[in-house]
Amino acid sequence: MAALRLDRIAAATGGTLFGGDGATIASGYAIDSRLVRTGDLFFAVVAGRDGHEYVTDAAARGASGAVVSRAVEGLPSGFALIRVADTVRALQDLARSILAENPVKVAAVTGSVGKTTTKEFMAAVLARRFDVLKSEGNFNNHLGLALSILGLEPHHTAAVLEMGMRAAGEIRTLASIAPPDVAVITNVQPVHLESLGTLEAVAAAKWELVEGLKPGGAAILNGDDSRLVRLAAGRKGGRTVFFGRGPHLEVGAENAIRLGFEGFGFSLRLGRRAVPCRLAFLTEGYLADALAASAAAYALDIPAEEIAAAVSSLRPAPGRGGWIRLAGGVVLVDDSYNSSPAALAAALRGLAGLPAARRVAVIGDMLELGPGEDAFHAEAGRIAAAAGWDVLLTIGPRSLRTAEAARTAGLDPAAIRSFASSEEAAEALERWLRPGDLVLVKGSRGMRTEIAAARIEHLFKEA
């Protein structure tokens, strides 16, 4: 964490220090009083709950002080308060000042699908040449991004940051906090349509990241995404690197072959170079994420052999497409962290060719799809039937459309069952699974499909 004096923090945030000693060092930062450690500075943000109600708790846990926008009663004598107009803005201003004073390379990523995985891949690949700070988990909003930046320490030479959004203008704000040297957009897909309405609006909102690039920065774009290609055509100045499966893109995967449960083998094309590479993931969506990370590293002049070696060493994070061989020959593919129409389609098609006695899809609702949600869920059912899945178990009210469409498309009605919740599905899994099954678990975070994945691991303890 960036260890800073309280008077330095007050100056950076435009605040006034009351009580305490300006020479006191804040050794960490928190917005949740339950996570405060001794020496942390607590920001009383108002986001759902009013953080001012928890300042006394933060003080009791050993906070060095708190950033507030109004008076707080009941604090111990000498407890430091930094009074600001807006605590969220103060948090962002502090993060902005930290980056301004530390000349690290900033690689930022956004996109409809795969941005967290791409962020993890980028951090691993860039670590070949940089000492990397990365945003943890999916800390990608106006609070999480700032907290991630406050983890910057003097030894860091690069920051890999994820930037998410639900509405227009949000990425512009994030990019103003952390202007990137490299801006990656993974794709534009039908997510957040409830708030944005159209895919064109989604693309424009993602494009704010490119507009926020530092002068001379590089835009890393999915060249298989027609909307991004059109937006790039109007870009003036700055470098653009396209990645994808298209034959004429600057970064791509040539001669890709499936290696069963070993993932993919391919030649990684980086400009005029092509180097052997492997990727230990089972679906092509992860291959696209790896190409995005490779393109970012390529734009930062990391040698091709080092990029390929880093990609070949990547492994799935929990809930993000990894597979486990369990007792009885059951193979669980746990992709329960999140879902979208494109990611679900890629998983259903990509996994269907793997060897198994039966293929069982456990699919939860996809969220935030707007008026087209029925059509997207129905299409998933048709894909499952066409790809040859033997059993379909759906979770949630929206996925009733998935079950109905699969039945209409020819999947045996006796092999389809719908559940109201992941808890209900988990209780029923023992009756539906058999030795030798390949089981895919996938759903949006709000559906908690990780409960079903954990139940499968319990039923067929790892071999």
pLDDT digits (tens, 9 = 90+) for 267-283: 999 999 999 999 999 98
pLDDT of residue 425: 97
Say what the pTM is: 0.88
Largest Cα–Cα separation, the chain = 72
pLDDT digits (tens, 9 = 90+) for 165-185: 888 999 999 999 999 999 999
- Residues 386-394 have a mean pLDDT of 98
pLDDT digits (tens, 9 = 90+) for 313-323: 999 888 888 99
Quickly tell me which residue has 């920051």 as its tokens.
159
pLDDT of residue 217: 96
pLDDT digits (tens, 9 = 90+) for 156-166: 999 999 999 88
pLDDT of residue 462: 63
pLDDT of residue 138: 67
CATH architecture of 322-459: Alpha-Beta Complex (3.90)
pLDDT at 198 over 60: yes
* Residue-by-residue DSSP string for 255-303: EEEE-GGG-EEEEEEETTEEEEEEE--SSHHHHHHHHHHHHHHHHTT--
pLDDT of residue 96: 95
**Domain map of the chain by residue range?**
4-85, 102-312, 322-459
pLDDT at 306 over 80: yes
- Residues 201-211 have a mean pLDDT of 95
Neighbours of 413 (CB within 10 A): 11
Tokens coding 186: 């993974």
**Mean of per-residue pLDDT scores for the chain:** 94
pLDDT at 192 over 80: no
pLDDT band of residue 60 (cuts 50, 70, 90) is very high
Neighbours of 445 (CB within 10 A): 15
pLDDT at 405 over 70: yes
Percent of the chain surpassing pLDDT 70: 99
Quickly tell me which residue has 């690069």 as its tokens.
158
pLDDT at 378 over 90: yes
CATH number of 102-312: 3.40.1190.10
Percent of the chain surpassing pLDDT 90: 85
CATH number of 4-85: 3.40.1390.10
Cα separation, 174 vs 161, whole angstroms: 10
